[in-house]
Chains A and B, each alone.
Chain A
């Protein structure tokens, strides 16, 4: 009974467990510490973006401009570092730049009530092409020595990235459940007008959630950038698809109001593992996208089936409650 609301999270983690078992049998070398750490490292930025994306989808909106925001934040990180901004200042600056980009979406969508799919489609093109025009497609090179791994050395730097991501996942997960603001997010996504009548301003919460997503995108971009010695100008291509797919596979309803960050974590893990797992199992990695697509469809299909079942149980318990009268 208590597990029922978490059905999707459960089925996604079962699918993930099945995948890990198959890999364990065919290619046990997959479970080496190095490989797992690389896997976590590669997926940490996606996880950060997916945390923000979960909240945006919970308020029944969408943001497809995160890939372009990611690219802008990445280049900004390189440029600022090269200009001599010290590391302790670099982190908040990039997070702020991300938050501002997100806030632009948030104000247009929340306050002006423009449709999020169109606003963020415009931003996807606008940020990407503005960046291309400014950089001329050139990468930022000759970065100061303390840029890579924040000057902490590879091993420590790698752990730092993974730890920051996990800590933020825990913090946001707790906040969504335990803070009044978290509950407001669910209320707005479930029924914006009803939320307004309960004294919650949907416009404000929608705007903030987009700004938060932007901040997380900025952070993700910085943590990703410090892994390399040069900064590319075309980072984050396809990031929006990865993040949205992970959120949906993790059980968040695309119509808003329902979903958890634990589900999103499982979604990121499931979709992120498949590529590497294929290589280990000896299947052509060209299959990766096709298999990911299949998983997304399976997740949506199971939504449909579970949705019907949920509908029936609701009617049943509703009728039972009436009978009791």
Chain B
């Protein structure tokens, strides 16, 4: 039996009447990767916050190495060797890597002299330990997201963390960077660090996790050995019901070519010689690694960074799109990545968010017709199953999955011919995810041409009629549904020829 590092027993926490944690119990061994999964709102974040001392539990006990932690606080948790790394790296962008690592490690007063050389040496050593080739003098803001994560891990190592909590670390990583991160995680595990690993990507858990704990409605439902459960069982535990099919893809009679790109390029965003087409009723998956140019291509089509070479042909007509407004008029819709920041406007009510891109159609004389706006919003709220107390509530009050549905509603209301979805299910829970997939299927059946960018290969394989793989700013190959496999796509995306 392995040594128990951390034990949480019957932890309870309520926020203003909502039971966020309901007698949750959790056990972490030294030298294991322990996955923590559950839908959004299941209580994972609250449990993590209690372990890291950010919030105090109402009841229950946290033990570290068999000793009860009485008054936990972020400071105490850090001293005890608990470190957490969140989805968005929290580095100071203007400071160097060495300084970023030093912050929080050095026990210095305001007037103590800075040991610049020592800082640099230590940073180099820590980075070398996890095999990261990063210059300690580089500014953190210049690093890529995966590099920044490695710096955070190095910082946790420097603090001699015994417990490392990782919240969705692979959410914005490409397949390749994910593999590198996994190698680092395995190394730390073998050194005896206990790792709590939170992820929505169930398919990656068998690759990295030793055990898995499933949470639902604030309770810890079950803890299993990863080798003894499959994906379907995990989903059942998470949702408490059986999901009929993971990807509700239906074959649809394909129509005319709706969108065609001929030799499209844009020098400012590094996109060149893109040739592709999307037909009515077709879902084309756009695969590739981060930096392959997928989002950049979408932004060209939507007029955000207009093309300077080649042409965009919509329903047989050559169009010249210079702004998002023009793209919308042409019948192109783009649901951006990173919905929390740009997909919806958090301060505006749900109804205003839904009609924002098609307000022209809600005009009576010069003014907005509030009655029709309400009806349209209520209509989409019902159709897409947006869970909200009121349509005049600010979008900020919704959960991630529901915010994404509001973003989708906005674009469906414009009745687009072409719908571009950029990471449509990133960071939303399993239930909402399959609802979004079902919706995509239905839209395709209605004859919409859909271009879907996704970093999740199962999603690409499960939803696409064809898969266009991008690498180095252009489409290197387009695979039919039948011939596409994870291995082929990955090889193409990484620049290998098949």
Interface residues of A (CB under 8 A from B): 178-180, 183, 186-187, 190-191, 193-201, 257-258, 312-325
Q: When each residue 345-363 of chain B gets 1 if its CB lies under 8 Å from chain A and 0 otherwise, what string results?
A: 1111000100011011001
10 more A-B residue pairs beyond the given contacts A186-B348, A191-B342, with a C-beta to C-beta distance below 8 A: A179-B368, A190-B348, A194-B341, A197-B302, A257-B347, A312-B16, A313-B397, A316-B16, A319-B15, A325-B41
Residue contact A199 to B357, C-beta cutoff 8 Å: yes
Residues A193 and B41 in contact in the complex (CB < 8 Å), given A314-B397, A317-B389, A317-B397: no
Question: Is B393 part of the contact surface with A, judged by Cβ < 8 Å?
Answer: yes
Residues A321 and B387 in contact in the complex (CB < 8 Å), given A194-B343, A316-B18: yes
Which stretch in B199-207, B262-270, B323-331, B487-495 binds the other chain? B323-331
Residue contact B346 to A191, C-beta cutoff 8 Å: yes
Residue contact B397 to A321, C-beta cutoff 8 Å: yes
Residue contact A316 to B348, C-beta cutoff 8 Å: no
Residue contact B16 to A190, C-beta cutoff 8 Å: no
Residue contact A314 to B394, C-beta cutoff 8 Å: yes
Question: Is B396 part of the contact surface with A, judged by Cβ < 8 Å?
Answer: yes
Q: Could you give 6 example pairs across A and B, Cβ below 8 Å?
A: A179-B366, A187-B348, A191-B347, A257-B345, A314-B396, A323-B217
Question: Is B40 part of the contact surface with A, judged by Cβ < 8 Å?
Answer: yes
Interface-central residue, A178, A257, A324, A325, by most chain B CB under 10 Å: A325
CB distance from A208 to the nearest CB of B (A): 15
Docked pose: A314 CA to B359 CA in angstroms: 26
Count of CB-CB pairs between chains A and B under 8 Å:
110
Write out the residue numbers on chain B whose beta carbons fall within 8 Å of the beta carbon of A186: 345, 347-348, 352
8 Å CB contact of B387 from A179, A193, A257, A325: A325
Interface residues of B (CB under 8 A from A): 15-18, 20, 40-41, 217, 302, 304, 323-325, 327-328, 334, 336, 341-348, 352, 356-357, 359-360, 363, 366-368, 370, 387-389, 393-394, 396-399, 402, 410, 431
Docked pose: A11 CA to B250 CA in angstroms: 56
8 Å CB contact of B341 from A193, A314, A316: A193
Write out the residue numbers on chain A whose beta carbons fall within 8 Å of the beta carbon of B368: 178-180, 183
Residue contact A321 to B402, C-beta cutoff 8 Å: yes
Write out the residue numbers on chain A whose beta carbons fall within 8 Å of the beta carbon of B345: 186-187, 190-191, 194-195, 198, 257
Write out the residue numbers on chain A whose beta carbons fall within 8 Å of the beta carbon of B304: 196-197
Residues A318 and B399 in contact in the complex (CB < 8 Å), given A180-B368, A198-B324, A199-B357: yes
Residues A321 and B359 in contact in the complex (CB < 8 Å), given A190-B348, A199-B325: no
Residue contact B341 to A199, C-beta cutoff 8 Å: no
Residue contact B15 to A321, C-beta cutoff 8 Å: no
- Name A311's closest neighbour in chain B (CB-CB): B396
Docked pose: A271 CA to B344 CA in angstroms: 36
Residue contact B352 to A317, C-beta cutoff 8 Å: no
Docked pose: A179 CA to B365 CA in angstroms: 10
Docked pose: A117 CA to B389 CA in angstroms: 40
- Name A191's closest neighbour in chain B (CB-CB): B345
Write out the residue numbers on chain B whose beta carbons fall within 8 Å of the beta carbon of A199: 323-325, 327-328, 357
Residue contact B399 to A322, C-beta cutoff 8 Å: yes
CB distance from A8 to the nearest CB of B (A): 14
Write out the residue numbers on chain A whose beta carbons fall within 8 Å of the beta carbon of B393: 317
Write out the residue numbers on chain B whose beta carbons fall within 8 Å of the beta carbon of A317: 389, 393, 397
Docked pose: A318 CA to B389 CA in angstroms: 9
Docked pose: A191 CA to B410 CA in angstroms: 16
Write out the residue numbers on chain A whose beta carbons fall within 8 Å of the beta carbon of B356: 183, 187, 195, 198, 200
Residues A193 and B342 in contact in the complex (CB < 8 Å), given A201-B323, A314-B396, A316-B17: yes
Residues A325 and B341 in contact in the complex (CB < 8 Å), given A183-B356, A187-B356, A201-B323: no
